Every structure is written in structure tokens, then in C-alpha cells.
Amino acid sequence: MTMRQGLWIAGALVAIMSGTVNAAAPAVTPGYDWAVRINEDRVSDAILAYEVDGTDDQPLNFTCEEGGDRVFAGISGGAADLDAIELEAGDQRVRLTGKTDADELPTFTAQEMPATSPLFKAFTANGWLRMTAGGEVTDMVATPAGKKAIARFAEFCAG
């Protein structure tokens, strides 16, 4: 190995270890996808959920009101003591604190984030999101239909 090759390898290792190299998108999880539902009744609001269609299996959802530029993340059935989640999309990361209402089914609701935030823009552009909640990591990758749902939700929320 030449000195130049050794320096290139060392530089690549430093970049990887410092997190400056973006990881490739994870694989699509069979059966899961992002779906959007828009309620245009009395208040125009929407939900974007990563789910198995026709079931209650929904690791994460986002809600917003039309044009409000405020998105809230939520988890149903998670840990009763959950007080924060971390979201990653591309090279963007955010930690959202929140609270868990532990009545019958623990439901976590995070603080708001703008639909126009760098994280949400990266999520809309790349179609995948990684969530860390209570030490568990979940990759949520969209199919082509899911990418359209994400884009529709982001447009609806941002106004």
C-alpha cells in the first residue's frame, strides 16, 4: 500500500467515525408503508402514519393542521415512561421531547417541529426515517406510493 492510499483510507475512516458520510437508505420493511389521511370536515387536519394497512401496527405517526407548519410525532402502545425520541433522515437529526399519557394504552406525543424543518425536508426528499425510542431503533422506508403520501402530507402541513 502506498502512503497516498494509506492516507485516503485513514481519511475515510475518520469521516465514517465522525458521521460525515451518509449511510445508504435502509431496505423497505415488507408490509409497512407511509399512508396519509386528510380530514376535511370541521378542521382540516392530516395524519401520516408508518403502518401495516388494515392493522393497529403503527410504530410512528405525524399529525398537523393544514398550513400550520407544525407537525407532532406520536407513538401508540410504546413504553409508559417514554419522554423523548430521536429522528434521523439523511444527514439531519432531531431529538423531540414529549410526554406519555399512560391511560389504557400508553400514547407518546412529542413537541412540535416545523413541517419546513431541515429534518422533515430530508425525510420528504429521501422517503425514509430512522427513529430511536426507548433504546429501540426502527427504520421506516417508503415505497413509491409511500413517498407520494409523505410529499402530500408535507405540502398540506406547510401550506
Q: How many residues does the chain have?
A: 159
Neighbours of 86 (CB within 10 A): 13
User: And the C-alpha cell for 124?
Assistant: 420528504
Higher pLDDT, 141 or 17: 141
Per residue in 30-89, pLDDT (tens digit) is 999 999 999 877 679 999 999 999 888 999 999 999 999 999 999 988 788 899 999 999
3-state secondary structure of 16: helix
pTM for this model (two decimals): 0.81
CB 88 within 8 A of CB 118: no
Instruction: Report the alpha-carbon distance of residue 105 to residue 102 in Å, rounded.
Output: 6
- Ordered by start, the domain boundaries in the chain are 23-158
Angle at 112 between CA 71 and CA 35, to 5 degrees: 25
